[in-house]
Structure 1
Amino acid sequence: MTPDSLARSGNFRWFWAGQGVSQFGAQFTELALPVVAITLLGANEWEMGLLVAASTAAFLVLGLPSGAWVDRMRKRRVMIAADLARMLLLAAVPVLALTGVLELWHLIAVAAAVGVATLFFDVSYQSYIPLLVEDRQVGEANSKLEATAQVANIAGPGIAGGLLSLITAPAVLLFTAGTYLASALSLGRVRDTEAPPDRAARQPLLREIAEGVAFVWHQPLLRRITGTTSITNLFSGIAFTLLPLLVLRDLGLGPAVLGVMFSFGAVGGLLGALLTPRFTKLFGEGAALSISSIAFGVAMVPLPLSLFAPQLAIVLLPAGNFLIAFFVVVYNITQVTLRQRLCPPRLLGRMNASIRFVVWGVLPLGSLLGGWLGVAAGMQASLWISVAGTVLGAAPVVLSPLTRMRELPRPDHTPESGAAVARDG
């Protein structure tokens, strides 16, 4: 361990531990909510589209102002409030189920409200990182935190799938509520030097939003990244909305198999996090973005293939999930590091919110499109459309200067980019 290793920082360790626990629990939610909707409430393709769309609608509705609001607040406090809100919301589902009044609209409402809390947490989370570590440690911290999240996610889905076979899905959500409480308590132990934003420097909200949008729009590399990420999110959202129905209804494989699929994905994600430094060194940072964006779409081919060969689905689906997660993590670590390098610290919240408004704002549209296509065109055609669109979505990055860059640009905003304390990743 080097003398300046992030693992030596108490603040970083508290942050690291809290995020590992909450990432573990988030996998329970990802499995339990669809299982409740399909097996307990009999949801169809369109209703699943509504449920999944509700979980990401906040990024479309509140994505832009959230960045300006976060830049006006202390980011650690925003994250603590978001964790506590998610804890209370998810704990409400088993209470409603226990009293016999749970309906699909309750799930949709909870998913939407959790999405709002997640939006504010995520914008604060990514904007907090450069405040907690030095610029040269940002890539290391992103890799450490991503690797830890994937380690937690490896066991999470498998255990969740097993539990869903033994106990009711609403009860499983109680565990997730507890992980968000643990995350909030861990964040409470972090000590940072983040100062309250200067009120005198505050501009009208619309002007601050416009400043963040303008920064992204006028930075050509960020514009390319945003284009590829948004297109691939739109089309992959079709497949991921229909995936629980594919596994649980069309293939009849059960919650345990769905959990195993997610666990294989987590293994792929872990390897992606661990091997990203070697991957970028071998191919170059810019080329790594292009390769991973194309490979992500190709890795989705096993999803529609499983309908051609149901007897092989138990192999095709976990293998596909493994490769999807591997290349998504390589792409995300590399492009998030680029964003953090290029953006001045005072604009981090608005930059992240502006990009997320686009790249996450298309997710509810993709979910609704997936629900509609599933009814209108059928499961198989919908999945092939998803694969084709995701592969083509790599074009903005592939056909850009990024592909030829061995090393991504370094920041040109050195004043105010020093470390504050611990970082999040």
Structure 2
Amino acid sequence: MTSDAARLPSTFIRLAWSNLAAQSAEQIALAAAAIVAVLALGANEGEIGLLQMALTLPYLLFAIPAGLLADRISRPKLMVWAEVSRAAALLAIVALVQAGLITWPLLALLGSIAACGTVAYSVATPSFVPSLVPSAFLPTANARIELARTLAFTGGPALGGMLIGWAGAGPAFGAATGLSIVAVVLLAGLREPPRPAPTHRQPLRDMMEGVRFVARHSLLRPVLVTQFVFSTAFFLVLTVFVPYAVRHLGLSAAGIGLTLGLYGAGMVTGALLAPRVMGRLPFGIVIGIGPIAGLVASLVMALTIWVPTPTLAGLSLFLFGIGPILWVISTTTLRQAVTPRDLLGRVSAVSVLTQGARPLGAALAALIGGLFGAEACLLLAVAGFVAQALVIWTSPAIGLARQPDMITEHGVGHGTLDHPNTTGRASRPREPATS
């Protein structure tokens, strides 16, 4: 890992730092929004569900258009404009908080605008990485990107909770705004290698091309289904966690932030272990670890219904982080390897689109939580995690021995678009002479 990481280009390192700032801004703002809604605005489980649905709906509505933009315009410029829009929305929240005019509908509206920036940034990043890094080092680069994201998940919620507890909501959203601006500064000057001019000029048809590619691909299709079900079930848990933690576990704002931070701590641990794990286990088995870890985590969280201790809740969130981060790194590498370069933005968008399952999870949480309480949501989530584990462990992706060979264009490279290598005998990309 050390020698590979040392050969990553400086342009990629800047991207990784920008990703850290952008992800930190998102996590602080998300934690702050939920805590403010519950503690300052008195939102109940149903209102929190609606708030979370608004904050995640852009993943469903904007991911595919953002993917088309990522394949048609400069990806670094798209990322810059994404962060500028997020900073502007967060700055508006700061102004409303300071004026005492914030309400949870306004919080939902501005948070949704900020989330549009998050979606565009999230789509562009994985499609930009292969332009900066040789194919043999994609796992290392993806681990670096995810390590930056995991650090944000570790520090963001804790910092958001502590800032609100110590200084109020304004400074928390102000910190998120500042980090978005830092992300923009780090992106300034990054250039993407020239790409061929797009041949299609029918936006709807071009947007659906990425969806069709994933739907027909024997490796990517089960990954997509697993990711969708996982996101739905996880957001069932995450949506009700803050009010559940306040009313059932007796946690304060700072305690909630620290407990949520254990999710990020698990992700950091998983990201640090990823190179060693991916070097020792078959590629497909690494893909399967995350869904199993998610299932175990959901069972531990459900156990807090009968054993209401923050320790179990923290352990559950830690497990939610440590396993699925291996999933993100391995499936991102898989997607980058088997997808033609001119489709990578739209295929990455389909992956981000699965986070559009979050509004579904939030809506279910609003309905089930409002009618039957948070405990029913935790039990329903367990059923979802059972389903997603079954989908991936019965798929051909589990049989892959190594990272598949790279595809550069439609039907060009070491594989083909219609007949991906599913035998598990794909050779690892050859290490380039220089990086």
TM-score normalised to structure 2 length: 0.89
Q: Deviations over 1:16-63 (max 9, x none)?
A: 222222333333112100011111111111111111111121122223
Alignment-derived partner of residue 388 in structure 2:
393
Partners of 1:149 and 1:342 in 2: how far apart? 24
The 8 Å contact of residues 6 and 12 in structure 1, kept in 2 or not, is answered as no
Question: Contact (CA 8 Å) 1:54, 1:115: kept in 2 or not?
Answer: no
Code of the residue aligned with 1:35 in structure 2: it is I
Greater RCO (CA < 8 Å, at least 6 residues apart): 1
Is the 8 Å Cα contact of residues 265 and 325 (structure 1) preserved in structure 2?
yes
1:407 to 398, 402, 416: 402
Q: Deviations over 1:165-208 (max 9, x none)?
A: 11112321100000000000000032x24336525x23311221
- Select the residue among 263, 266, 271 that pairs with 1:265: 263
For residue 306 of structure 2, what is the aligned residue in structure 1? 308
Change (3 A) 1:10 1:405: closer
| Cα separation, 2, equivalents of 1:197 and 1:173 | 40
Between 1:82-91 and 1:389-398, the stretch displaced more is 389-398
Distance between the aligned counterparts of 2:143 and 2:38, measured in 1?
A: 35
8 Å contact from structure 2 (residues 262, 318) kept in 1:
yes
Task: Tell me which moved more, 172-181 or 272-281.
Answer: 272-281
In structure 1, what is the equivalent of residue 142 of structure 2? 142
Change (3 A) 1:371 1:84: same
Which residue number corresponds to residue 293 of structure 1? 291
Q: Residues 83 and 416 (structure 1 numbering): CA distance in 2 closer, same or farther, change over 3 Å?
A: farther
Distance 1:114 1:25 in 2: 10
SS at match of 1:360: helix
Q: 2:344 maps to which residue? A: 348
Contact 2:267 2:322 in 1 (8 A): yes
**What's the offset of the Cα at 1:150?**
2.2
TM-score scaled to structure 1, two decimals? 0.91
Matches within 5 A, 1:233-272: 233-272=231-270
Is residue 327 of structure 1 aligned with residue 323 of structure 2?
yes
Q: Which residue of 1 aligns with 2:85?
A: 85
Q: Any idea what the Cα deviations from partners look like across 1:265-312, whole Å, max 9, x if unmatched?
A: 2221111111122223333110122232122121122322223122xx
The match for 1:57 is 57
Separation in 2, partners of 1:155, 1:351: 30
1:337 is matched by which residue type in structure 2?
Answer: T
On the 8 A contact 2:127/2:348 being kept in 1, the answer is yes
Work out the CA distance in 2 between the residues paired with 1:129 and 1:146.
12
Q: Distance in 2 between matches of 1:289 and 1:5?
A: 22
Which residue does 1:117 correspond to in 2? Answer: 117
SS in 1 for 2:221: helix
Which letter maps to 1:257?
A: G
* Structure 2 stretches lacking a partner, 5+ long: 415-428
- Counterpart amino acid of residue 18 in structure 2: G
Q: Which moved more, 1:208-217 or 1:35-44?
A: 208-217
Against the structure 1 CA distance between its residues 50 and 281, is the aligned structure 2 distance closer, same or farther, given a 3 Å change threshold?
same
Residues in 1 aligned to 2:263 and 2:293: alpha-carbon distance in whole angstroms: 15
Distance in 2 (CA, whole Å) between partners of 1:341 and 1:7 is: 20
Q: Against the structure 1 CA distance between its residues 170 and 248, is the aligned structure 2 distance closer, same or farther, given a 3 Å change threshold?
A: farther
Give distance in 2, aligned partners of 1:2 and 1:27: 28
Partner of 1:278: 276
User: Percent of aligned positions with the same letter in both sequences?
Assistant: 28
Q: Quick one: structure 1 residues 197 and 238, their matched pair in 2 at CA, closer, same or farther if it must change by over 3 Å?
A: same
Matched residues in 2 for 1:136 and 1:169: separation? 45
Higher deviation after alignment, 297-306 or 325-334: 297-306
Describe the SS at the equivalent of 2:143.
helix
In 1, Cα distance between equivalents of 2:366 and 2:226:
23
Letter of the 1:403 counterpart: I
Matched ranges for 1:352-363 at <5 A: 352-357=348-353, 359-363=354-358
The answer as to 2:403 corresponding to 1:384 is no
SS at match of 1:300: helix
Indicate the larger mover: 400-409 or 319-328: 400-409
Ranges in structure 1 where 5+ consecutive residues have no aligned partner: none
Cα separation, partners in 2 of 1:317 and 1:223, compared to 1, 3 Å: same
Alpha-carbon distance in 2 for matches of 1:316, 1:326: 15
Superposed displacement of residue 320, structure 1: 1.1
The one-letter amino acid paired with 1:411 is M
* Cα offset, 1:80, TM superposition: 0.3
After the TM superposition, which of the residue ranges 328-337 and 298-307 deviates more from structure 2? 298-307
Give the C-alpha shift of residue 2 in structure 1: 7.3
Higher mean alpha-carbon deviation, 394-403 vs 364-373, is at 394-403
* Post-superposition offset of 1:8: 5.8
Whether the 8 Å contact between 1:232 and 1:393 is mirrored in structure 2 is yes
Query: How far apart are the structure 2 equivalents of 1:267 and 1:253?
Result: 19
Query: Which residue in the other structure is 1:189 paired with?
Result: 189
Q: Once superposed, what is the RMSD of the aligned Cα atoms? A: 2.3
Paired residue for 1:212?
Answer: 210
Amino acid aligned to 2:323? F
- Helix, strand or coil: the match of 1:271? helix
Classify the secondary structure of the residue corresponding to 2:304: helix
Q: Tell me how far apart the structure 2 counterparts of residues 242 and 115 of structure 1 sit (CA, whole Å).
A: 20
- Displacement of 1:321: 1.0
AA matched with 1:133: V
Residues 7 and 13 in structure 1, CA contact (< 8 A), matched pair in contact too: no
Given that residues 6 and 141 in structure 1 are in contact (C-alpha distance below 8 angstroms), is that contact kept between their aligned partners in structure 2? no
Q: Which residue is equivalent to 1:155?
A: 155
Secondary structure in structure 2 of the residue aligned to 1:407: coil
Correspondence for 2:424: none
CA distance in 2, matches of 1:75, 1:387: 38
- Mapped to 2, the partners of 1:214 and 1:159 lie a distance apart of 41
1:103 matched to 2:99: no
> Partners of 2:106 and 2:388 in 1: how far apart?
34
Structure 2 CA distance for aligned equivalents of residues 56 and 183 of structure 1: 21
